[in-house]
Amino acid sequence: MPKGRPGGNPDFGTKYALTTHRPEALTERITVRIPPSIKEKLKQLSDYPEFIREAIIEKLEKLESEAKLSKVN
């Protein structure tokens, strides 16, 4: 008798497994409150979630580099 539910996709999880080019999986979520006008501008972008991720990374890298500079001085 086959495993799984009748009529299920036998290739699920193998042939159709989720793959990513990222070094780290995107498993965590955060919620941020923003004004409706900013949300509308973001929704007009082709890939706004990636835009937001990149903006956060850039800002964190800037903070880290500023912190390193302040330790040197």
Task: Give the tens place of pLDDT for each residue, 31-68.
Answer: 999 999 999 999 999 999 999 999 999 999 999 999 88
Q: Burial letters for 24-50: b for 16+ Cβ neighbours within 10 Å, e otherwise?
A: eeeeeeeeeeeeeeeeeeeeeeeeeee
Is position 64 within any domain?
Answer: yes
Distance (Å, rounded) from C-alpha 64 to C-alpha 73? 15
Is position 59 within any domain?
Answer: yes
Mean pLDDT of the 18-42 span: 91
Q: Give the structural domain span for 64.
A: 45-72
14: confidence class by pLDDT, cuts 50, 70, 90: confident
Distance (Å, rounded) from C-alpha 25 to C-alpha 19? 10
Query: Domain total for the chain?
Result: 1
To the question of pTM greater than 0.75 for the whole model, the response is no
